[in-house]
Amino acid sequence: MPSPALEPAIQVTGLRKSYPSKQGPQLVLDGVDLTVPAGTVTALLGPNGAGKTTAVGVLSTLLHADAGTVRVAGHDVAREGDAVRAAIGVTGQITAVDDLLTGAENLRLMADLHHLGRSAGKRRTAELLDQFGLADAAAKPVAAYSGGMKRKLDLAMTLVGSPAVVFLDEPTTGLDPRSRRTLWDEVRRLVAGGTTILLTTQYLEEADQLADSVAVLHGGRVVAQGTPDELKAVHDAGSLDDVFLALTEPPAEDLPGADTATTSPKEDVR
């Protein structure tokens, strides 16, 4: 008998999320459906303000959904938050390292938060420093690190607890090309070891290079999902840039200079 299919690492159905405002609730996610198979990279793309970071916030238990079901690493986000948090790692847009501590001290702090114990924490710290090429700088204050080194340390801190699912929210923003490619290599290594990654990025080349699947978020919904090659074929496009523009450009009547006598302006909520 064939083995049953593995449960997706991330399964989202009908996710809705809005924020209060003076004009009333501003809907950001309007029925998002998303499936991320285990051991893969899915890139979540969308224009600025499309709700990518909001989606990551809900999936990582940092925000509460208004409606819908979300399962991460086999657990319901709404009912099993502790189990979800134990199974995930999150690297946000802002590097979450302490500049006053050394690289090793940052990692040992995370090991303590994960209750690894002194000896296990020291071993895990040494492993990650070596893995990310930071061993020579382990005793230096992080304030002396370059931007690329800080980003690598940030990702290493995310991995202290050996998470099954990792959320990378625009992790290479502001990095130079060499540091960006170094981080790409680390992402590939993680996935080869079975980790699942949900990546948000503004760099479409990054999505093309790393992602097994690409999902495009627009108008509060996932308007397309598939491999980069599949999306290019469907839209007769030579690059993901062309696919992105085809899926997210406003219709002609919404562009400046359109005939406003027959169309009404649309409000951009977020």
**pLDDT tens across 97-111, in order?**
999 999 999 999 999
Check whether 263 has a pLDDT greater than 90.
Answer: no
Distances (CA, A) of 179 to 121, 139, 265: 27, 21, 42
What is the pTM for the complete model shown? 0.83
What's the whole-number average pLDDT of the chain? 88
Domains of the chain from N-terminus onward: 10-96+163-250 (3.40.50.300)
Q: b/e per residue, 82-104, with b = 16+ CB within 10 A?
A: ebbbebbbbbbeebebeeeebbb
- Mean pLDDT over residues 51-78, rounded? 95
| Alpha-carbon gap, residue 207 to 43, rounded angstroms | 6
Q: Which residues contact 210 (CB under 8 A, 6 or more apart)?
A: 41, 43, 184, 187, 188, 199
**pLDDT > 70? residue 34:** yes
Task: Give the mean pLDDT of 222-240.
Answer: 92
- Report residue 94 as tokens: 């802002």
Q: Are 34 and 222 in contact (CB under 8 A)?
A: yes
At residue 80, the 3 state secondary structure works out as coil
